[in-house]
């Protein structure tokens, strides 16, 4: 945790709050206030971020699990037939040394990192040639624990070169170091890992009904009976994909230079698309918004919007879910009041007392929330306060987080229809115990060489969806609309 960045974020927010509460013209220099708020959010996220460190043990002999019966090394995951007592022979997947979930020792961790960088660099080249990376990998393999030396050296014995071509090129580590801890809204959702494409969730829609115990006569009559009601929720894993074209003339040094930026950008692209879908997704046809003309905050470009593969059709987002559940709430006056906010919370019924999060746009936080006396901002949180990553304020005990994908170009109806004044914004309140991220597979990178166009094509994919196991009519989300900006 970087306290200097967090302190700077507190200072910026304190200045905005002071301006909102002590200046007659609260919206003077509005764009500068929004800019400072975004900077504070970035500083807070960076200050709270925990660097992902893979689990590394200090057990050289644990590497024996990756040696086959003939002494060779198992590099990647393979399906093997194993005899299980009482069940006979079963086919099981067994991890290899390059895609194991836990590193046996530091040598193992360094080996995986070197191979990951080498593989990604080779993906960017039409004629893969990475002599520096090959020699580095070769030198590292010579430092293998003694009991593995023979098996490792065996892969080089039949070649006059350093033997880099004997190391599998598949990029199997799935960018875990970049994407293991998601940023933004996705981090607020509990994760359910899916073993198959479809997950069936059994639910008890209604339990039994108790009656007064007892009988009215000496005859042995049965207790009054009741019938329980069951239901089933079906969740299907859906995917996101990003295609990048890389110049096939990239040499080894330039390929290695671009790896950090490329890895970060791939993760950010998919994260942005998922967060956008969380708020603005809609599986109804047509989409509730005019997404063919909605380039939200200039993030997605002006072409290719609104088609069948638009990420905002990936799953039902929270704005559209609130519309389906009739939990859309407009302000009663010309600006947001505390009573308006609590009235919106009240639409959730009994779920209003559960764990909740409020997601706002930067403009809504400056122009509407920070002027409320009931809002407690970051600089007032106690030093021992437990806050969410990215939480900037709190209202009625509900954490307030900011998302750039809550639009500030909406109409009074809360929709983007590319008409009217397009000068409204909104906020979403959702029950965090009701919404889940169902994860089938984290980010994977694949490549192909297109000799016709002379480029290397890199494709990053992720299979994940957001859904709620609650009944469709359960009021687990509220959408506050018609918030003025200027």
Q: If you average pLDDT over residues 403-408, what whole number do you get?
A: 94
pLDDT at residue 160 above 60? no
Q: If you average pLDDT over residues 158-162, what whole number do you get?
A: 46
**What is the bridge-based pairing of β-strands 78-84 and 88-94?**
antiparallel
Closest by alpha carbon to 269, among 238, 307, 304, 241?
A: 241
When mean pLDDT is compared over 33-37, 154-158, 376-380, the highest value belongs to 33-37
Torsion of Cα atoms, 138 then 144 then 147 then 148, to 10°: -40
Round to whole Å and give the CA distance between 57 and 106.
8
One-character DSSP codes across 44-110: HHHHH-------B---GGGGGGGB-TTS-B--S-EEEEEEETTTEEEEEEE--TTS-SSBSSHHHHH
Round to whole Å and give the CA distance between 117 and 114.
5
What per-residue string of b and e applies to 305-330 under the rule 16 or more CB within 10 Å gives b?
Answer: bbeeebbbbbbbbbbbbbbebebbbb
The domain limits of the chain are: 3-23+30-50+241-484, 60-166
Given a contact cutoff of 8 angstroms between Cβ atoms, the answer to whether 361 and 427 are in contact is yes
Q: Quickly state the pLDDT bin for 426 (edges 50, 70, 90).
A: very high
Output DSSP code: residue 221. Answer: P
Element spanning 242, H or E = strand 239-247
Non-local (6+) Cβ contacts of 297 within 8 A are 404, 405, 407
Q: If you average pLDDT over residues 92-112, what whole number do you get?
A: 87
Round to whole Å and give the CA distance between 98 and 63.
11
Backbone angles phi, psi at 54, to 5 degrees: -65, 150
Given a contact cutoff of 8 angstroms between Cβ atoms, the answer to whether 130 and 161 are in contact is no
Q: If you average pLDDT over residues 221-231, what whole number do you get?
A: 60
Given a contact cutoff of 8 angstroms between Cβ atoms, the answer to whether 73 and 151 are in contact is yes
**Least confident range of 103-117, 203-217, 296-310:** 203-217
Count CA atoms within 13 Å of residue 155 on its CB side: 20
pLDDT at residue 317 above 50? yes
Residue with tokens 């073993």: 195
Give the model's pLDDT for residue 174: 44
pLDDT at residue 108 above 50? yes
User: What pLDDT digit, counting tens, does each position of 339-381 carry?
Assistant: 999 999 999 999 999 999 999 999 999 999 998 999 999 888 7
SS3 304: coil
Cα 154 off chain centre by: 42
Given a contact cutoff of 8 angstroms between Cβ atoms, the answer to whether 204 and 164 are in contact is no
Round to whole Å and give the CA distance between 442 and 267.
10
Which pTM value belongs to this model? 0.75
| Greatest distance between any 2 Cα atoms in the chain | 98
Closest by alpha carbon to 148, among 215, 220, 60, 217?
A: 60
Give the model's pLDDT for residue 306: 93
CA distances from 279 to 29, 359, 370, 403 (A): 28, 9, 22, 9
Q: Quickly state the pLDDT bin for 293 (edges 50, 70, 90).
A: very high
Q: Which residue has the higher pLDDT, 79 or 454?
A: 79
pLDDT at residue 201 above 60? yes
Cβ neighbours around 146 below 10 Å, total: 7
SS3 430: strand
Cβ neighbourhood burial of 392 (10 Å; 0-12, 13-18, 19+): buried
The CA-CA-CA angle for residues 56, 59, 61, to 5°, reads 135
Given a contact cutoff of 8 angstroms between Cβ atoms, the answer to whether 178 and 264 are in contact is yes
Closest by alpha carbon to 101, among 51, 174, 33?
A: 174
Cβ neighbours around 39 below 10 Å, total: 13
**What is the bridge-based pairing of β-strands 398-402 and 356-360?**
parallel
Q: Sheet with 436-450: list strands edge to edge.
A: 191-193, 436-450, 455-467, 239-247
């Amino acid at each position: 945790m970087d306290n200097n960045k967090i302190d700077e974020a507190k200072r910026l927010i304190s200045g905005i709050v002071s301006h909102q509460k002590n200046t007659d013209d609260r919206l003077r220099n509005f764009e500068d206030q929004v800019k400072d708020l975004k900077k504070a959010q970035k500083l807070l996220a960076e200050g709270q971020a925990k660097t992902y460190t893979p689990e590394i043990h200090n057990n050289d002999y644990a590497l024996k699990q990756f040696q086959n019966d003939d002494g060779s090394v198992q590099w990647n995951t393979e399906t093997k037939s194993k005899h299980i007592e009482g069940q006979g022979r079963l086919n099981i997947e067994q991890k290899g040394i390059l895609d194991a979930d836990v590193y046996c020792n530091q040598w193992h961790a360094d080996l995986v990192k070197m191979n990951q960088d080498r593989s990604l660099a080779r993906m960017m080249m039409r004629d893969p040639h990475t002599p520096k990376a090959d020699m580095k990998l070769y030198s590292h393999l010579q430092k293998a624990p003694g009991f593995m030396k023979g098996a490792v050296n065996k892969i080089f014995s039949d070649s006059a070169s350093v033997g880099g071509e004997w190391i599998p090129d598949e990029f199997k580590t799935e960018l875990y170091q970049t994407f293991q801890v998601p940023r933004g809204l996705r981090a607020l959702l509990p994760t359910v890992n899916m073993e198959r494409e479809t997950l069936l969730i059994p639910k008890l829609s209604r339990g039994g009904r108790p009656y007064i115990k007892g009988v009215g006569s000496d005859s042995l009559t049965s207790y009054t009976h009741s019938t329980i009601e069951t239901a089933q929720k079906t969740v299907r894993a859906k995917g996101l994909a990003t295609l990048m074209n890389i110049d096939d003339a990239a040499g080894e040094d330039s390929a290695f230079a671009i790896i950090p930026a490329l890895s970060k950008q791939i993760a950010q692209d998919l994260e942005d698309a998922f967060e956008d879908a969380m708020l603005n997704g809609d599986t109804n046809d047509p989409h509730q918004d005019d997404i063919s003309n909605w380039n939200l905050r200039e993030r997605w470009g002006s072409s290719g919007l609104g088609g069948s593969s638009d990420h905002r059709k990936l799953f039902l987002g929270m704005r559209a879910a609130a519309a389906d559940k009739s939990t859309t709430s407009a302000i009663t006056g010309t600006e947001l009041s505390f009573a308006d906010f609590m009235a919106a919370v009240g639409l959730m019924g009994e779920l209003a007392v559960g764990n909740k999060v409020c997601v706002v746009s930067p403009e809504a936080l400056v122009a509407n929330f920070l002027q409320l006396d009931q809002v407690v901002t970051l600089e007032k949180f106690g030093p021992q306060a437990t806050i969410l990553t990215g939480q900037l304020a709190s209202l009625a005990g509900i954490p307030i987080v900011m998302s750039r994908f809550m639009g500030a170009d909406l109409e009074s109806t809360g929709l983007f229809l590319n008409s009217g004044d397009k000068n409204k914004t909104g906020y979403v309140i959702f029950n965090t115990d009701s919404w889940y991220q169902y994860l089938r597979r984290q980010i994977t990178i694949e490549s192909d060489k297109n000799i016709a166009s002379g480029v290397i094509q890199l494709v990053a994919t992720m299979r994940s969806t957001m859904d709620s196991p609650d009944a469709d009519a359960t009021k687990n989300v509220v959408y506050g609309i018609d918030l003025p900006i200027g």
